[in-house]
Structure 1
Amino acid sequence: MNEAGKKPKAVVVGGSIAGLSCAHALILAGWDVVVLEKSCAPPSGSPTGAGLGLDPLAQQLIESWLGPPGLLHKASMPLTIDQDQATDSEKKISSTLTRDENFNFRAAHWADLHGLLSNALPQDIFCWGHLFLSFCSSDDKTCVEVKTKVIETGKIIKIVGNLLVAADGCLSSIRRSFLPDLKLRYSGYCAWRGILDFSDNDNSEAIMGIRRAYPDLGTCLYFDLASGTHCVLYELLNKRINWIWYVNQPEPELKGNSVTMKVSSDMIEKMHEEAEKVWVPELARVMKETKEPFINVIYDCDPLEQLFWDNVVLIGDAAHPTTPHGVRSTNMSIVDAAVLGECLKKWGVANLHSALTEYQSIRLPVVSKQVLHSRRVGRIKQGLILPDRKPFDPQTATPEDCQELQQKNMPFFADVRSVVDLHLPFPMEHTCWQPALGALFIYNIQ
């Protein structure tokens, strides 16, 4: 409570997974929360969107926020296997490069996870259709005023809180206000992606074929590598297959504040033609039968030097834009939110600077290494140049080369599970936080 006996208030800009996770964590920490989201309503049905891989710690945190046990389990599919394989584009055959059968992730559709997190929150905290415009902090840094526009009416309103949380994605306008010269780094490739819904015909030739070619679909995260390119494939709940195909190319020109490109029918047709040249026929057919595939331009950012300024803090992709190859973006956002909530709960609004300092000291060393590792893995799988090794060729790679492809090589990956139930032998306020504890932050799940 603040001096007036009222709960402290946080304004969260961004209503995607990071923003919703932050709302859960801050409410549990005793804060009032307002979530500003420019979309005019929550997503309905199953719109075009991304599949997500959730690690064990993220799963536990989400389950702790949802209340009734098992909701996440029912809304996701197991990913118990992490497999990299090589495709010979000429012979149209595949061979296993490396396989980890103790992966223990789960796969969810973005819209399904968003619905779970959103429905478990008080609905009066959401301001849908509110476009963030600007903010300013009070002279004594005890409050921040956020200006937003109601898209439907054009009305400008002001909301005052003690803390502003930037969960507004990799193109964060809030981050830009502090780091105006910071530029995202183009990875050198874009990603075609899509979700094939086969709920109406699960015995089609395309589905039976893809299950023959990828027999562990339903439990496996497949990484299929050809020369200078790779594809990701896994199954989602409700008979959907998620695929992502990374293609090396010059940086395209983006329009608007989005890293997603609209595609024409000609672009899609050319993609189908190239898929038939590169991939086994079963995978190329899945791509061809997918409705409304789209392109993400892949960016990341060199690690930031700080994650907060006065009473403004960055979480999720606003804090650490990352390439997707380490399956980290969503997981980092969820842990960011949990750590921020615990720090705010520990220090209280009267010691906001200490809370944000501790959040930063816990998360920054971890996410920095994970961003750089994801960048490296992406360049390896795309056959791009790295200073310390030759371009990766899946047809001639040694077993030692292939081991570097595994997800479990992600910094701090192996420790995630163990700390959930860890009890430190000393109080938090005397802890010298090591980077590992940032990935393994102790979150007491009740």
Structure 2
Amino acid sequence: MVEKKEKPKAVIVGGSIAGISCAHTLLKAGWEVQVLERSSTPPTGCSTGAGLALDPLSQRLLQSWLSRPELLLEYSLPLATEQVEISPLRSLHSIDGESKRARVLSNDENFNFRASHWADLHSLLYNELPSDIFLWGHLFLSLCISDDKTSVKIKARVVESGEIVEIIGDLLVAADGCLSSIRQTFLPNFKLRYSGYYGWRGVFDFSERENLETVMNIRKAYPEIGKCLYMDLASNTHILLFEIPKKKINWVWFVNEPQPQLKARSMSMKVNETMVKKLHQQVDEIWVPELAKVVKETKDPFINVIYDCDPLEQIVWDNVVLVGEAAHPTTPHCARSTNMALLDAFVLGECLLKWGLLDLKSALAEYQSLRLPVIYAQVLHSRHVGRIKQGSTLSDRERFDPSAATTTQNFPELQIRNTPFLDDVPRVIDLI
């Protein structure tokens, strides 16, 4: 008689939002979970980092994982509207001390997203999990699938001591990001595609100076901020901004530049004083003074280099599965990266719950079949939207010229609402 195993074990490599979301769904599916993360400690909620736009489906999923669902509302702000605008020419920015208003190209008043800070969302999810499932300061080195395909052995190095440890599980979940080492194991010739531009990012913190003139002016220039995602377009560039909780404004400015030489395994690039000085000069040349002032008064702006890849044809190998940016490096123009990762986690958990350990192969095959069509459509659509907004060469039309665009034209591609599968995601069950 074969002894029945009490719980299957999943090893998740990567403790960012994709990884800890999978931890939630796999625990709910009855799995034992171990999370390996190379960072030595959990994030502490620093003021820099990314603002996130969470779609309605992601909001429902997140609330289903929280013991107090109302906390998501406390840690996020409504983005009820998405507004795409043409920024006026710099020479017309100021007339009698007042900024000339931008022309609105599209306005979605039923956007229904919510804005959060990456660190806040991570903290919400992390605090709901047992602390003993995390192995902090563990760097993934290699994997080995057993001959009978029933287990996978992971080698990792303890960063602090240099000790090499081995961990065996029934399933390996690769949530190790855009530069995934696990993906590279199966696709050794894989290369990311540089988009042709990078993003200056920053979070302007006005929590202790709400009456600052800069804050009053940005609220006057962008009167719906606090409930609207603004997207301003200029020639060969665009910038977005929205408010996130705790009196902060998140902004991202996309700049056409040759591919930077990154020195570390990171999509973010450290900047020096000369680079920041150039940023301040350029922002004055292009954007309205109220917005330029917010950028110039943001502490510690940084560069996020924008990559994606052609959609993968496979995201499962035996008992190894890719999720999040490991499965679909994506440009940020349709707010897909985090939202796709959350849905990856949900679908994976439901497939495992449906099929159980006795048929892990079918569970992972269903996960792959459900996610690949969505990944394919959303990655390529986001790439296309980015090329339009940055004035890049397009195969099916002339380059987009904001100065020649009129408000009577239809620009459905510029709206996040029109992302493929946004409201019609292939489902495992009817819970979503």
Name the TM-score class by shorter chain. over 0.9
Corresponding residue for residue 303 of structure 1: 311
Distance 1:272 1:261 in 2: 17
Cα offsets for 1:207-232 (capped at 9, x unmatched): 00100110000000011101110001
2:113 corresponding residue in structure 1:
105
Is residue 2:420 matched to residue 1:411?
Answer: yes
Instruction: Tell me the SS of whatever aligns to 1:195.
Output: strand
Q: Deviation of residue 401 (structure 1)?
A: 4.6
1:363-402 map, 5 Å: 363-398=371-406, 399-402=408-411
Aligned mates of 1:307, 1:5 — CA distance in 2 = 27
Whether the aligned pair in 2 keeps the contact of 1:338 and 1:443 (CA below 8 Å) is no
1:197 has 2:205 as partner:
yes
One-letter amino acid of the structure 2 residue matched with residue 61 of structure 1 = L
* AA aligned opposite 2:320: V
Equivalent pairs, count? 422
Distance 2:112 2:404 in 1: 29
Alignment of 1:229-248 (within 5 A): 229-248=237-256
The corresponding residue for 1:260 is 268
Per-residue Cα deviation, 1:301-336 (whole angstroms, up to 9, x for no partner):
000001100010000000000000010000000000
Deviations 1:71-95 (A, max 9, x none): 1111000001010001123212312
Q: TM-score, normalised by structure 2?
A: 0.96
The whole-number CA distance in structure 2 between the counterparts of 1:362 and 1:39 is 31
Alpha-carbon distance in 1 for matches of 2:182, 2:369: 21
**CA displacement at 1:179 relative to structure 2:** 0.5
| Cα distance in 2 for residues equivalent to 1:109 and 1:3 | 47
Q: Map 1:143-154; keep pairs closer than 5 Å.
A: 143-154=151-162
Per the alignment, residue 329 of structure 1 pairs with: 337
Per-residue deviation at 1:443? 5.5
Residue aligning to 1:177:
185
**Structure 2 CA distance for partners of 1:384 and 1:257, relative to 1, 3 Å:** same
Whole-Å Cα distance in 2 between the matches of residues 3 and 378 of structure 1?
A: 54
Distance verdict in 2 for CA 1:443–1:74, change over 3 Å: farther
1:25-424 correspondence to structure 2 within 5 Å: 25-90=25-90, 91-92=92-93, 93=100, 94-398=102-406, 399-415=408-424
Residues 351-403 of structure 1: CA distance to partner in whole angstroms, max 9, x if unpaired?
11110000000000011100000000000011111101111111212444523
Q: Deviations for 1:244-274, whole angstroms, at most 9, x for unmatched residues?
A: 0000011111111101100000000000000
Q: Structure 2 stretches of 5 or more lacking a match?
A: 94-99
Q: CA deviation at 1:145?
A: 0.6
Answer whether contact 1:248 1:382 (CA < 8 A) is retained: yes
Contact 2:350–2:428 (8 Å) recurs in 1:
no
Match of 1:421 in 2: none
Aligned-pair CA distance for 1:442: 3.3
Contact 1:89 1:277 in 2 (8 A): no
What secondary structure is seen at the aligned counterpart in 2 of 1:180? coil
TM-aligned CA deviation for residue 48 of structure 1: 1.6
Instruction: Give the aligned CA root-mean-square deviation in angstroms.
Output: 1.2
TM-score (norm 1): 0.93
| Structure 1 range deviating more: 219-228 or 398-407 | 398-407
Q: Secondary structure at the match of 1:413?
A: coil
Instruction: Kindly provide the amino acid, as one letter, of the partner of residue 413 in structure 1.
Output: L
Cα separation, partners in 2 of 1:110 and 1:443, compared to 1, 3 Å: farther
Whole-Å separation in 1 of the counterparts to 2:62 and 2:423:
20
Q: Percent identity?
A: 61
